[in-house]
Every structure is written in C-alpha cells, then in structure tokens.
Amino acid sequence: MRMSWVRNLLVGLVLVLLAVAGACGDDDDSGSGSDAAASDATTETTTGEPIVREALGQTTPANAPGQELYLQRATIEPGATLDTHVHEGTVVAEIVEGTLTYEIVSGTATVTRADGTVEEFTGPDTITLEAGDDLIETDDLVHFGSNEGDETVVVLSAALLAEGAPLATPVEE
C-alpha cells in the first residue's frame, strides 16, 4: 500500500511533537505543552451533530518564529457540517476514514488522491474527498466540510499558523 507524502509528513510531525513533549518533561505546568494539548478534546456543534476535535500535539517551532504547529484529529459524525472558515496559515490534512464533502467558497485547494493523482480545485466548487486523499489549504482558501454519508469521517491534520491565531477563523458567506 502506498504511503502518501502527507502521511509521511504527518508521521514526522508526530515524532517531532513526541520528542518535544519528552524534552519538556512532566514539570511544565504552563498548560501549553504537548501533554496538555494531547488530553484536550473539544466538541462543537454546527448542525446538531457533533464534531470532535482532538489536539494531538502543539509546539512553537524554533525554525518558524512567530508560528505555532498543531497536530489534530477531527471526527465528523454523519449529518454534521463545519462552519465556513479560513486558516491563518497552511493546513495539510488527510482523510483517514469516511467520505468528506468539501465546499470551496473561494480560493484554490490542492488535493492528492489516494492513487497519487494531484488535482487543483478553485472555488466555488464542491468536491468529494475519500479515505487516503490528502489536502493542502492555504490562508486564502475559504471553505467548509460536511459529512453527508452514513459513516463517521476522520481527518488528521497538521497546521502551521500565526502564533495566537485560532485553528479556524469563521467567515460569513
């Protein structure tokens, strides 16, 4: 089975975040270390169905001043729709399970399909992302996703954002 470059990147980020967590030790009471982030799970509801975001790690990379690096798993239950939003940086994501309906309001998304085919989509557009598909989102991409199927969607993502920026910034359509 082919391991995508995004999966390699995400695995590398996990290893880096685990190394950072190990270097920080257990005496960091600031709440900003990877241990605190890894235990933080939040639930939000946009359409009456739950969307759970689980923080897997977070760090301030020494080689990216003014930036925060996040690793996150999002679980989107059937019928749920995320709010329209942008990210104040770059997000790399992979659909791990299920089928995500992805709405591009404006901007361009780069998708690498599970078979290695690379496609660019410019909004307005609606695309379907399947398990194994990778996605790159930039700061000018206005978008949202929804789970229109019967199975849970799981997305693993890494985000490099401006320090202090929210993981997603809502945008009114």
Q: Could you write out the three-class secondary structure of 76-98?
A: ECCCCECCCEECCEEEEEEEEEC
Name the helix (H) or strand (E) containing 63: none
Q: What is the DSSP string of 148-162?
A: -SSS-EEEEEEEEEE
Question: So what's the pLDDT on residue 76?
Answer: 97
With beta carbons less than 8 A apart as the criterion, state whether 30 and 21 touch.
no
Q: Position 10: which residue type? A: L
Total residues belonging to the chain: 173
Task: Choose between 167 and 172: higher pLDDT.
Answer: 167
Is the confidence at residue 8, as pLDDT, over 80? no
pLDDT, greater one: 7 or 43: 7
| Predicted TM-score (pTM) of this structure | 0.76
pLDDT tens track for 115-164? 999 999 999 999 999 999 999 999 999 999 999 999 999 999 999 999 99
Contacts of 13-17 with CB under 8 Å at 24 or more apart are 13/57, 13/69, 13/71, 13/158, 14/56, 14/57, 14/71, 16/59, 17/56, 17/57, 17/58, 17/59, 17/69, 17/71
Is the domain covering 5-170 a CATH 1.10.600.10 domain? no
